[in-house]
Amino acid sequence: RLACRGRGRGGRVVRRSQRLQPVARAVGHDERECAARLAEAERRAQDAGKRLEELEAYQADYASGLAGRVAAGMSATDLRDYRAFLARLGEALRAQGRLVLQARAERDQAREAWRLAAQRAKSIGQVIGRRQAEERVIGERREQFETDERALQMSRARERST
């Protein structure tokens, strides 16, 4: 039973752990791509949340200024325009709120994709580690067998010479 069955370039024997290296590289690449997508999704979610906070602050400032303007004397047309602007600002806030929810959902999906990719990479790494440990044990057994075989041959040679 050989742990090294496949043959690589040049006809040399390729260990099972080495055959998994391309898989490990591909899975690692996928994990890095997922991590980059997660970082971008996180940035978009933060930007959308920040924009919502800015709009909310602007609306609060603008609405608080209404009472002062009315008290100082404001025409009916200006009051109507002021209220219309507040209504448009409210619509913008609702739209931005939807964008925030969408960005957060996309971020959560990206986080889950990254988590799964990281889990796959870790699993492949563990499989490769187990294969390498098996290969070490097989190598150590082979060395021990060869050492025992040489000792036996030397012992037989000494017995024949005496």
- Looking at the chain, the whole-number percentage of residues with pLDDT higher than 90 is 68
* Residue 150: C-alpha distances to residues 79, 155, 156 (Å): 104, 8, 10
Q: Mean of the pLDDT values across residues 147-158?
A: 91
Measured in whole angstroms, how far is the alpha carbon of residue 36 from the centre of its chain?
A: 7
pLDDT in tens, 32-80: 999 999 999 999 999 999 999 999 999 998 888 877 777 778 888 988 9
| Six-digit token string for 18 | 């080495």
Token duo for residue 99: 């964008």
CA-based R_g, the chain, Å: 35
- Please name the residues in contact with 135: beta carbons below 8 A apart, sequence gap of 6 or more: 3, 4, 15, 16, 17
Range 96-102 average pLDDT: 98
